[in-house]
């Protein structure tokens, strides 16, 4: 039903632009073959989530040395996305 109703797909994806459902919204965009650039709210949420994850790895490297990541690697990784 979603594939035949683009307005319904757009409405659904836009309502997924929150911290809990952004990942599902991105998967929805991919499955429907839509352009992710048309949904900046979802992409911004995912980017913030990614930044928090990598910053957490950096800040907690004393507790978990196996997942140590240098700050310059994080900056480089996130800079390549733009």
How confident is the model over 10-28, as pLDDT tens digits?
888 889 988 899 999 999 8
Q: Is pLDDT at 81 greater than 70 in this prediction?
A: no
In a domain, 56, yes or no: yes
Listed range (3-12, 17-26, 40-49, 57-66) with the worst mean pLDDT: 57-66
pTM beyond 0.75: no
Of residues 47 and 71, more confidence is placed in 47
Split into its structural domains, the chain has a count of: 1
In a domain, residue 55? The reply is yes
User: Quick check: is 21 in a domain?
Assistant: yes
Is 1 domain-assigned? no
Task: Note whether residue 50 is domain-resident.
Answer: yes
Return the higher-pLDDT residue of 60 and 15.
15
* pLDDT at residue number 2: 61
Q: Give the range of the structural domain holding residue 72, as residue numbers without chain letter.
A: 6-79
Tokens 């989530």 belong to 49
């Amino acid at each position: 039903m979603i594939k035949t109703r683009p307005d319904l797909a757009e409405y659904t994806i836009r309502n997924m632009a929150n911290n809990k459902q952004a990942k599902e919204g991105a998967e929805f965009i991919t499955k429907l073959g839509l352009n992710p650039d048309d949904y900046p709210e979802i992409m911004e949420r995912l980017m913030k989530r990614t930044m928090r994850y990598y910053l957490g790895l950096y800040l907690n490297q004393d507790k978990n040395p196996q997942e140590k990541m240098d700050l310059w690697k994080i900056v480089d990784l996130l800079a390549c996305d733009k």
